[in-house]
Amino acid sequence: MHKDCERIMLTEEQLRERVKEIALQVDKVYEGKRPLVVGILKGSIIFYADFIRHLTVPVELDFMVVSSYGSGTVSSGKLKIKKDLDRDVKGRDVIIVEDIIDSGFTLANLKALLLERGAASVMIVTLLNKKERREYDIAPDYNCFDIENEFVVGYGLDYNEMYRSLPYIGILKRNVYEK
Ligand code: PRP
């Protein structure tokens, strides 16, 4: 385990098994379709790569970089898009793949935006869900793990752009982010 982690919350094996389970459930829903799988960078990168490899339906891949800037504040404003999709979502079945849903700001705005652009459907798939932090009325359609309000890193998730490449989800030691 990394020295900055207090403990491992989700092991590589737990992640592997649960991601596969969720991906197979999602796969069934899209039988006969060709969804556009939208990864929200950067946090979702490892989950995304593992998730899509269990899908048997044909998929197209696309990515967005958005800013959750404004999250937690009173006037959140609109979602800031740093990198938009390459594909037109009009008439498409979209699967948004996210690492974590916290306040819900990002996904509430993103879902509304893609529907506004004419997506036929928008499904949200998340790796982690911090329910107690929710401020916006949005819930994932598929979620791998409900977690407590802990500072988690690894498997794509960062603190100051570090720890994303850890193969497990670890809880960061308090003294790392409080110093
Ligand atoms: C994280 C995460 C979600 C968002 C969730 O992204 O990946 O996009 O925050 O928070 P919310 O529910 O309060 O909106 P972050 O801005 O940390 O970027 P990253 O994916 O590059 O780490």
pLDDT, tens digit, 9 for 90 and up, residues 54-79: 999 999 999 999 986 644 444 456 78
Nearest to 82 by CA among 117, 110, 116: 110
As a whole number of angstroms, the distance between CA 66 and CA 77 comes to 13
pLDDT, tens digit, 9 for 90 and up, residues 22-58: 999 999 999 999 999 999 999 999 999 999 999 999 9
Confidence of residue 19 (pLDDT cuts 50, 70, 90): very high
Query: Which residues lie closer than 8 Å to 99 by C-beta, 6 or more apart?
Result: 40, 43, 44, 47, 126, 127, 128, 155, 156, 157
Residues 99 and 43: beta-carbon distance below 8 Å: yes
Give the distance (Å) from ligand 1 centre to CA of residue 42: 8
Give the distance (Å) from ligand 1 centre to CA of residue 5: 20
Q: Is the CB of 79 under 6 A from ligand 1?
A: no
Average pLDDT, the chain: 94
Pair of tokens at residue 157: 């998730």
Query: Which pLDDT does position 73 carry in this prediction?
Result: 44
Pair of tokens at residue 84: 């938009």
Phi, psi of 62, rounded to the nearest 5 degrees? -150, 165
Active site residue 102: yes
As a whole number of angstroms, the distance between CA 93 and CA 70 comes to 28
As a whole number of angstroms, the distance between CA 117 and CA 115 comes to 5
Ligand 1 pocket test, pick from 38, 45, 47, 99 with the greatest ligand atom count within 8 Å of Cβ, gives 99
Strand, helix or coil at 112?
helix
Query: Which residues lie closer than 8 Å to 158 by C-beta, 6 or more apart?
Result: 42, 43, 164
Q: What pTM did the predictor assign? A: 0.94
Pair of tokens at residue 3: 């020295």
As a whole number of angstroms, the distance between CA 153 and CA 171 comes to 6
Pair of tokens at residue 42: 């950067």
